[in-house]
């Protein structure tokens, strides 16, 4: 039986961060009164940070309750079989007005053992970058557990991190275990596993104005989480052919495609295969199913249930979307 759910848009959950700025408000038109908001959680099943439906007959319902109610009709058969009522993906917008800590995330096995959590494999899509804005990803030389810890203790780790100058439209995949940091002046969309486990290894010795203290570091925890294997390439390359879905990332945790369209585009899916998430990184469009019409604009995210077989995108000008599935 096909339970009609419809396209879902959620009320974001805004997160204070020591490094947060004003671009979520000024560039993405998010509405909040606090300062130093660094993250807008767009679709989240993280405990304590669940997003609730913004409008329509399901207004106010949080994501885990929707999965419990609609099961595979919402998330798809394979996803429900593996994760049950847990939504496997967390979607964020991140505004770095100052550098994020140098950090690493555990994989599924270590996160399960230590935190009863999923690991955190993630990808970034650069939506905006100030001149000379950078990411730090991976190491410039071969390191191991012993000399890594020695560099951290001496305070000279930063020069050993790859500094990558970035611009709008670039994408980077960060598997669990890869040391990284987002630099000052970067606004990005993040697609990740549903996890809030982060091990900080360096935080610029700064003091959080809210607490009056430096943030906790997790150097010992990080050592067993880091993958020290050499990496040749960090940036994800992908086709940008207009008016079609272009594959970007295909992992066991999520799949992401890029769409740039200036004409009506109809997307067809296998019924019950997987939910689809659409993140609007630029422009404006009308999204249509046989039973519903809904607008999406830059800085908004929607969830298309797995029991919808077709979605028509009607751009108002040119629209850019990231299409995400399990």
Which pLDDT tens digit goes with each residue over 277-287?
999 999 999 99
Band of pLDDT at residue 2, cut at 50, 70 and 90: low
CA 226 to chain centre: 20
Q: Of the candidates 293, 300, 295, 298, which has an alpha carbon nearest to the alpha carbon of residue 285?
A: 295
Which residues touch 9 (CB under 8 Å, ≥6 apart)? 53, 54, 55, 294, 296, 300, 301, 302, 303
Segment 9-32 shows an average pLDDT of 97
Cross-strand bridge partners of residue 91: 43, 191
Segment 129-143 shows an average pLDDT of 96
Tally Cβ neighbours within 10 Å of residue 110.
19
192/254 Cα distance (integer angstroms): 8
Could you identify the residue written with the tokens 């505004």? 95
Residue 322 burial by CB count (10 A; 0-12/13-18/19+): exposed, middle or buried? buried
**What residues does each domain of the chain span?**
8-236, 245-325
Q: Tokens standing for 241? A: 């052919």
Compute φ and ψ for 109, nearest 5 degrees: -65, -45
Q: Is the dihedral of CA 15, 52, 248, 311 positive or negative?
A: negative
Q: Tokens standing for 255? A: 């799949």
CATH number (3.30.70.141, 3.90.440.10, 1.10.10.60, 2.60.120.10) of 8-236 reads 2.60.120.10
200 is a catalytic site residue: yes
286/311 Cα distance (integer angstroms): 10
Mean model confidence pLDDT for the chain: 96
Q: Return the percent helix, strand and coil in the chain, to nearest 5.
A: 15, 40, 45
One of 17, 178, 200, 206 is an active-site residue; which one?
200
Which pLDDT tens digit goes with each residue over 172-217?
999 999 999 999 999 999 999 999 999 999 999 999 989 999 999 9
Cross-strand bridge partners of residue 29: none
Beta strand 310-315 pairing with 265-268: antiparallel
Q: What is the pLDDT of residue 1?
A: 42
Q: Of the candidates 255, 229, 227, which has an alpha carbon nearest to the alpha carbon of residue 326?
A: 255
- 3 state SS of 154: helix
Q: Tokens standing for 45? A: 């099943």
CATH class for the domain made up of 245-325: mainly beta
Q: What is the pLDDT of residue 102?
A: 98
């Amino acid at each position: 039986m096909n339970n009609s759910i419809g396209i879902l848009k959620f009320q974001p959950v805004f997160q204070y961060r020591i490094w947060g700025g004003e671009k979520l408000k000024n560039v993405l038109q998010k509405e909040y009164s606090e300062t130093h908001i660094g993250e807008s959680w767009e679709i989240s099943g993280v405990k304590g940070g669940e997003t609730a439906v913004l409008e329509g007959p399901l207004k106010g319902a949080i994501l885990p309750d929707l999965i419990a109610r609609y099961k595979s009709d919402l998330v798809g058969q394979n996803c429900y079989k593996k994760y049950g009522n847990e939504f496997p993906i967390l979607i964020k917008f991140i505004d770095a007005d100052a550098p994020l800590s140098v950090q690493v995330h555990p994989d599924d096995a270590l996160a399960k053992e230590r935190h009863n959590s999923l690991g955190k494999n993630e990808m970034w899509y650069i939506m905006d970058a100030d001149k000379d804005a950078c990411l730090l990803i991976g190491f410039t030389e071969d390191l191991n557990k012993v000399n890594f810890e020695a560099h951290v203790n001496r305070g000279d780790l930063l020069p050993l991190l790859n500094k990558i100058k970035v611009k709008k439209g670039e994408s980077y995949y960060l598997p669990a275990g890869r040391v990284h940091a987002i630099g000052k002046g970067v606004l990005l969309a993040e697609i990740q596993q549903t996890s809030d486990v982060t091990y900080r290894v360096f935080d610029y010795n700064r003091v959080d104005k809210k607490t009056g203290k430096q943030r906790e570091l997790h150097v010992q925890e990080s050592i067993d989480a880091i993958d020290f294997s050499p990496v040749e390439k960090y940036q994800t390359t992908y086709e940008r052919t207009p008016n079609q879905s272009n594959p970007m990332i295909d992992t066991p945790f999520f799949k992401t495609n890029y769409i740039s369209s200036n004409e009506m585009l109809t997307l067809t899916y296998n019924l019950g295969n997987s939910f689809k998430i659409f993140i609007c990184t630029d422009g404006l469009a009308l999204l249509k199913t046989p039973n519903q019409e809904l607008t999406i604009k830059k800085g908004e995210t929607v969830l298309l249930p797995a029991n919808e077989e077709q979605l028509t995108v009607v751009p108002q000008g040119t629209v850019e979307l990231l299409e995400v599935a399990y």
